[in-house]
Structures are given as structure tokens and as C-alpha cells.
Chain A
Amino acid sequence: MKNGRSILLIAQLVVMLILLVFVSINGIRFKADLLSMLPNTEYPNAVAHAESKLFSQAANRIMLSFSGDAKAQAYDDMLEGIQKYGWQAQLPESQQIERLAAFYSQFSGALLSEGYKREIASPVSFEQYFLHQLSQVSSPWISKTINTDPSLATASYLEHILSVQAALILENGRLVAANSPEKPLVLFIALSADPKDSQGVNFSIKTANELSSLTNMLAAKYASVKIDASGMVLHTAENAANAKWEMNVFGGLSLTLTLLIVIWAFRSLAPVLWLSFTIANAFVFGFCIVAVTFDAVHFITLVFGVTLIGVGVDYCLHVLTNRYSKDKISVGKTIFFAFITTFLCYSLLFFTPLLILKQVAVFVSAGLFAAFVASFWIEKTSSLSWVNRGIRPRNCERLLKLLTQTPRLNVAFGGLILILFIVKTPVFDDNIAMLNASSTSLTEAQSYHHQLLGQQGKIRVFLYEQSLQSLLKNEEGLADKLTREFSNIELVKLSDWIPSTRNQAANRQLQQHAYHSDVYEPLLQLSPNFKLAANNDLVTLNNFVAANGSDYIARYYVDVEPFHVSVLEIGNISLSQLRPIVENTHNAVIFDKQSALTEVLKSFRKQMTYWLLGAIALISILLWARFDWSTMLKSLFVIVVSISGALVASSLYQHSLNIFNLLSAILLMGLAVDYLIFHREHPKTNANILAITLSALSSLLVFGMLAFSQTPAIYSFGITVTAGLILIYLLAPLVIKEENEQRSI
């Protein structure tokens, strides 16, 4: 038997060693972005891939804004400062009009703005338009294009496409937010050539620190200047720094306090070593399995992983208290049964659509297995008691009495909690924004920048087709419908830059018709030799990209084999107005990630509730099979009251609950089952009560720490588990039977 346990431990350690070598050779990627761990929304694959590509592009960029008296000087100093970090300022192309004018002039007649089409409808309207345009004191688009296109069609087209995106204008080589009264300066910074580099946690933290030192330096130099910074990298850095700090502080504190309690209880250092070995074995094994199973390890997984200390230490505590006490009872089977039930509970998390919870499931399940194997071996090892002064307190009779003497009071207390749960049923808020862990200043800066870019309140519609021309036609069709129904609508789209060939051919015909209808008479008076261009060339994606036009369409076009995807940015319209029109458009979806994720979380929470009920039923059956009806009913009461009470307590503190409060209910169930089994399985001994008390204390230390986290997901989890644990500890003794029979163990 003893050899079997040793072989099991050695086998586990060998596997762990192999995994460690594997992980060291292949390296570990860490992540800290919570959004990337959320489940996929139900968008078509082409749209999801396109959005992911656009998201990656944005991840590589930081946006800065400068407002105040000396903003220009601060901007210039920043431009100089970023060079030492090797960052690239994405300076606007100052010759964009010249470049665009040269390109579009080649396709004279194929490109007509909607306004221009209206002007050439009659000779009178064109005359007014023509005279008005030439009377302008200065028009870059006219002076750049009139020699190649005197009809002013190209000038009008250029003015149109540049106007629809005029949130930022160029002044003295700097971008200025045109719509904001204080006219802040805007600077975009590209962080690295390879966008994948910007996803690294260490890179993000380093970048955020470097940027912070630059902005602090400028803030000291220019007190009147306000500098705001936003970007995915900054969110990642904040989340990672938070998670790292919490993992170190909470992990370190809970471990230290747990060990101190153990030293006090056992009056010896030896149990500390065995406990440390058990925890280290559990943590390293869990980590290795996660690192091998997943592409990247999320920091939040490690923060949740701290809970492993609280649960894993329980097995070893039971082994040690029984070995150190006078009651020499074997607990091998009991900890095995406890391990199986907790393992099953955590394994449930693996079937959730949240990648982060899959990681937690794998991490804790593997860790629990290692903790069980270590404790199982410790129980039979002969070198356990270097110094055995017995456990303290020598008897826990008072505590035992306190916990068991008033079962009716406990039942009444439980009943009260259930009534409170019914009266004050906790409300869940599934809004994904509630889980945002970023600081208020960063969130506000992001919102301010959205406003400067004119993106606030804009709705994005994704269209996808296998042929680019079908996509452009579809997009133009949707834009036509929307413009007809909503005259004030704002649209920015791919087909502004590259109209469909059908549209371009129709434009040429329209201009020919206007020419033959003497619409261009005022022009002919000034330039009698004027003729429409004879060429039939059209703007295509290829010739637009070849003319360095990619930057203009980067936000509106993504190629995801075999689909071409375009993005329409629509303003001045509500979702309810837009939805029916988009739903009737082929291969078009409104993309609202926040709402979609909120919907996913809502449906996920409902599923979780059913799973939780199923799991409670499964546990009840197991308890009935192992014990009896009475134990099963009492256990069911304890589990239901503990979970209900924990949720009510959390809702009183948090106001509304989220998915992580519910997820903690699964852990509560696992912990409750452990305590119930230990109370029911063993006689009312000092060692048993002390082991359970020490377990509860260590778990409280761990989960209580989580309640102080800055991350909403983590503190929600911590609060619920802490409240639930207290209830379980108080109510679990209900299952103790005076005549607890000695089972053959």
C-alpha cells in the first residue's frame, strides 16, 4: 500500500518534471487582456476574423491628445521623446491631397460625388455651382485637379471623401481634432513593426512605464497642458500590473498566514514543510498542465489559481491533524472522496464557453490531483513526525459543542437565509462593461478620444462577400437605402474610396449625358476646347493600393480568405432604426461587441444556473449512495443555504451580481461537500474538528484576500466564496451523527 502511494507520487513528479522541461524549452506566453478570454460571439466567421484583424491593428497603436496653452510645444517634445524608445509617430501624409488628386485625376468622369451628380442635372444648377466654385478664394482640390479635369468632378469628389472623414485635420504638420472647441492636438504612435509583439504582457508594462515617464516629464514642464493617452497596450499593462501585484501580495499573504496558523496548531516546523511541499507540488503541476494545454496563460487564471492553496491545503491538514493527534485514524479514503467531488465541481468549469474558466478548471483540477497525491503519500510516510508535541488546542470540545449543540438554531438560521433570498432575490447585471478592470482615468481617456475621432455613437456594420465587386455593390445599395430614409445620416465606407465598377460606369454615362445636354456651357465659354476624357479606366482595389492608398481604407476593408469584408461607420441613426434595414441586407451584420458579449454572458449565466442545479443533484445522489437519505437532505440544505446566503450577502455589497458570483457557487459546492464528508465520515474527534477549522481558516484567508482585488471578476468571486465559507463552516456540523460509526478506512 505504502509502495503504491510512493509510486503514484513518483509518477506524478516525473510527469511534472517532463512538463517543466517541455515548458522551459518552448517558453510560456502570458496574457492579461480579459476581453480576449471571453467567448466568441455569434457573428459569422468572416466578420469575427475581420474584427479580430482590425483589433490587432489597433492593439499596436497608442493615441495621445494635447490640450492647453503650450500644447504645440508639448506635442513637439513628445515627438522627440518617443524616438529614444524606437516608437514611430504616425504622422499624417502632408501631401495626401496631391497624391490623391494625381491618382483620382486618371479616372476623370468615373468618380462623381452625390452632390456633383445633383449639380449636373441641369445647365442652370451647374452654372451656379461652377461659378461658385471658381469664386472661392482658395481651394486646394480645384487648383490641383482643374488642369486635368476642368469639369470639377474630381475636385468635388476629393472634397467629398476628405470631408466625410474630417474629424482630424492637418495644421502646421500636426493633427487637430476639428470637432472639439479646444482644438486638441492628436498624435498616433506605432509601437512596433510586428503587431504581435505588442500583445506581450512585459512589453505592455514596459511601454506603459516609458510613456508614463514621458508624460510626467511633460506635465512638469508644461503645467497648463493636459495629455491624455489611450490604447489597448495601456489596458493590458494596467490589468497585468494589477494581476501581478495581487497574485504576489494575496498569494504571499495567504500562504504566510496559513503557515503561521499551522505552526501554531502543530507546534512544529515539520508540518509546514509537508504543507509547503503539497502546495508547491499542486501549484507547479497545475501551472505546467495549463502551460502545455493552452497557447497562452492568462494572469487572471493565476490569480484564481491562488484558490488552489486554500483547497489543496485541506487534504494535507486532515492527514497531519490525524497523524499528530492521539486519534490515529486513516483519512486516505475520505480525502480521496473529497478530492473526487471537488475535482468534479471544478471540471464542470471546463465545459463553459469562457476560455479563462477553462484555464482555471484545468489549473485547479490538476493542482488538486497533485495535492491529493502528495497528501496521500504523506499519510503513510514514516518520516513524518520529527517533532511531535501534539496538536493545539489539545481539545476542541468547546468549539465542537458550540457548532453542534444547537442544530435547531442552525436550521432556523438557514431558514431565515432562505426567506431573505426569496424576499431579496439577487439581481444579475450581465453587462460586460461591469467587468472592466481598467482605471477610470484610462476609460475616460479612451472615451474622450472616441469623441475626438468622431466615433462616439457610431454604429459599425460589417458586410462580407466572396467577390469584391459584390461587396461594393452591396455596400452602395445599403448606403442608398439608408440615405433615402434618413437624410441626416452620416456614412463612412469603403466604396467612398473605391466605388463599384458598376457605379463608376454609370457615372461616366451620366457625365456624358450632361455633356451632350449642354450642362457644361459655362465651362465651354471659358475653355472652348473642353472635352470629356476619352479613357475608360476605372478605380480598382489593385490600382488604389498600388498608389499607396492602403492607409485610407485600413479601417474599412479586411481581406479574410475567401471573403472580402467591409466596415460601414454610421452616425446620426439609432440601433432600432438601423436594425430592420441591415437585417434585410444580404451578408450584413451590425457589429456591437459590447452588446453581443453581454448577450453571451446572459445566456451563459442561465446555462450555468442549470449546470449548478444539475451538479447539486449529482452530489446529492453521491451522498445518498455513500451515506443515507437523512445525510443527503441535510447536505442539500447546507449547500442550498450556503449558496443562497453567499449570493444575498454579495448582492448587498455589490448591488448587482455578475457571472463570477455564480461561478463561485460551484466552488462553494465543492468546499461544502468536502466539509460535509469530513464531518459525516469521521467521529467527532478533536483532530477532525481542528482539521476542518484549519481548512476553513486557510480558505477564508485565501478567498477573503480576493475580495480586496481591484478586478471586478476577482472580487466578485472572493466576496461570494468568503460569505459562503462562513455559512458552510457554521452549518456543515448538521450532518454529524452522534453514533458516527467507525468505517473501515
Chain B
Amino acid sequence: MFRKLAILGWLTFSCFSLVASELTPEQANEYLKIPDTFSTSGEFVQHKHFKILDKPFVSSGFFKNEGDTFEWTTLVPVTSALIFDGKTLWQQESDGQLKPLLLAGHYIVVVEALVTGDIKRLGDFFRFETYQKTSCLKLLPKDKQMALIAKTIDFCYENSQLKVQLNESEGNYTTIDISLAAIDDKTRD
């Protein structure tokens, strides 16, 4: 009887370890093996899955990081750009004018860290957990405000490709597929 219970306990523990084990940013980096020289610019394709819409809404564009400035530009289906200069987030209007976006200033930092695979930075906002897929991590927001972006984030790195899934509220979710535009030779801190 005791032996059976011990085996059952060991099995439960092993399953739990496999399903969810919390990692430090260093362990997470080691786990996904994202190279230090991962691109800080690339292209993206975004699929928005809203329960209310019969089919996903697809948009695409590119992003680039130059010095302190991060730019997220959507080309399809409409052209628009978000520019973060390190302090303020600006939205570029169709006429080229820049409008500050005060409320989303700190979200863009997270987006930048997600699409450039900056796990150290992501560690400021999320806890990391492993789950079924060996090439993926589950990101859990450290505070409720960050949970407004997504309740959880599936963050995967496979075949030199990043794939991010934002699991939002009400059953809605967004997937972002990142493909590298060019390998940046700058080494990240």
C-alpha cells in the first residue's frame, strides 16, 4: 500500500514538474537558447482571433530597433506606425504627424522585448514557466496591470523563428509570427 502511494506521489510530482516549472530569466534563456545576436529588426504577421469575428483579422509589417528608438510599423491592411523613443510612445498618423500615446507607453516596452526575444527584459514584467512544448515558455504577468495586455503569453522559439501568442480576456487571442529581416551583429547586454 505504502509503495503504491509512493509511486503515485512520484508520478504526480514528475507530471507537475513537466507541466509547470518556474524558471529564472537566465534559465529561461538557456531553455529556449535564443542567441545573443538575435535580430533586433524583422517582419511580423499578426492574427487577431476575436470570438465575435468569424475569421481572424490579419495584419503585417515590420519592426526595427535603432539605438533607443523602437519602431513598429503596420503595412497591411493599413499603414500606421508606433514609435517609442525611449521615453514617450508616439503614433504616426496617416499625414505623418506624431501623436503621443500616454496610456500605452509601458506596453510597447513589453512588445519590443517580446519580438526581439529579450528574455532578460521580459523578466521585469513576467514569470516564466515551462509547459508541454519544449521550445516554448509560458509568460505569467507579475502584476494585474500587465495582465491587461494578456492574461498569459505563449513565447516560442523554434528553427530561429519567434512565435508569440497573447492570450487575452474573453477568449480572444493574438498570434505574432516573427521572421528575421537581418541578423544584427550587435551583442545584447
Listed stretches A133-141, A490-498, A600-608; interface member: A133-141
Listed stretches A165-173, A205-213, A669-677; interface member: A165-173
Q: Across the interface, do B102 and A146 meet the contact criterion of CB distance under 8 Å?
A: no
Q: Across the interface, do A147 and B52 meet the contact criterion of CB distance under 8 Å?
A: yes
Bound CA span A172–B52, Å = 31
- Residues from 107 to 124 in B contacting A, C-beta threshold 8 Å: 107, 111
Instruction: From A144, A169, A181, give the contact of B170 (CB < 8 A).
Output: A144
Bound CA span A170–B106, Å = 9
Q: Across the interface, do B174 and A137 meet the contact criterion of CB distance under 8 Å?
A: yes
Q: Across the interface, do B144 and A143 meet the contact criterion of CB distance under 8 Å?
A: no
Instruction: Report chain B residues within 8 Å CB of A179.
Output: 102
Instruction: From A128, A134, A147, A162, give the contact of B59 (CB < 8 A).
Output: A134
Instruction: Report chain B residues within 8 Å CB of A176.
Output: 106
Instruction: Report chain B residues within 8 Å CB of A135.
Output: 46, 57, 59, 74, 77-78, 80
Bound CA span A197–B114, Å = 50
Q: Across the interface, do A137 and B54 meet the contact criterion of CB distance under 8 Å?
A: no
Bound CA span A163–B149, Å = 17
Q: Is A592 an interface residue (CB 8 A)?
A: no
> Do A147 and B51 form a contact, CB below 8 Å, given A166-B102, A173-B143?
yes
Bound CA span A137–B144, Å = 19
Instruction: Report chain A residues within 8 Å CB of B150.
Output: 138
Among B48, B51, B72, B172, the most chain A Cβ lie within 10 Å of the Cβ of B48
Q: Across the interface, do B55 and A143 meet the contact criterion of CB distance under 8 Å?
A: no
Instruction: Report chain B residues within 8 Å CB of A95.
Output: 144
CB A167 to nearest CB in B, in angstroms, measures: 8
Q: Across the interface, do A134 and B51 meet the contact criterion of CB distance under 8 Å?
A: no
CB A469 to nearest CB in B, in angstroms, measures: 30
Instruction: Report chain A residues within 8 Å CB of B104.
Output: 138-139
Residue of A nearest to B166 (CB): A138
Instruction: Report chain A residues within 8 Å CB of B172.
Output: 143, 146-147
Q: Across the interface, do B59 and A527 meet the contact criterion of CB distance under 8 Å?
A: no
Q: Across the interface, do A138 and B111 meet the contact criterion of CB distance under 8 Å?
A: yes
Q: Across the interface, do B103 and A131 meet the contact criterion of CB distance under 8 Å?
A: no
Instruction: From A131, A134, A144, give the contact of B169 (CB < 8 A).
Output: A144
Q: Across the interface, do A172 and B48 meet the contact criterion of CB distance under 8 Å?
A: no
Q: Is B105 an interface residue (CB 8 A)?
A: yes
Q: Across the interface, do B105 and A169 meet the contact criterion of CB distance under 8 Å?
A: yes
CB A34 to nearest CB in B, in angstroms, measures: 37
Bound CA span A176–B107, Å = 14
Q: Is B22 an interface residue (CB 8 A)?
A: no
Instruction: Report chain A residues within 8 Å CB of B87.
Output: 181, 183
Q: Is B50 an interface residue (CB 8 A)?
A: yes
Instruction: Report chain B residues within 8 Å CB of A146.
Output: 50, 52, 170, 172
Instruction: Report chain B residues within 8 Å CB of A526.
Output: 53-55, 57
Q: Is A150 an interface residue (CB 8 A)?
A: yes
Instruction: From A137, A170, A171, A527, give the contact of B111 (CB < 8 A).
Output: A137
Q: Is A159 an interface residue (CB 8 A)?
A: yes
> Do A131 and B106 form a contact, CB below 8 Å, given A137-B46, A173-B145?
no
Q: Is A528 an interface residue (CB 8 A)?
A: yes
Q: Is B168 an interface residue (CB 8 A)?
A: yes
CB A580 to nearest CB in B, in angstroms, measures: 31
Q: Is A132 an interface residue (CB 8 A)?
A: yes
Bound CA span A448–B78, Å = 42
Q: Across the interface, do B145 and A171 meet the contact criterion of CB distance under 8 Å?
A: yes
Bound CA span A173–B146, Å = 9
Q: Across the interface, do B174 and A147 meet the contact criterion of CB distance under 8 Å?
A: no
4 A-B pairs besides A131-B77, A147-B52 with CB distance below 8 A are A94-B144, A135-B46, A171-B106, A172-B146
> Which A-B residue pairs are the 8 nearest by beta carbons?
A94-B144, A166-B102, A135-B59, A140-B148, A143-B168, A526-B53, A131-B78, A170-B145
Can you list 30 A-B pairs with a CB-CB distance of less than 8 A? A94-B144, A128-B94, A131-B77, A132-B74, A132-B80, A135-B46, A135-B57, A135-B59, A135-B74, A139-B104, A143-B50, A144-B148, A144-B170, A146-B172, A147-B51, A147-B170, A147-B171, A150-B50, A150-B53, A166-B102, A169-B102, A169-B106, A172-B145, A173-B144, A173-B145, A183-B87, A526-B54, A527-B52, A528-B54, A530-B52
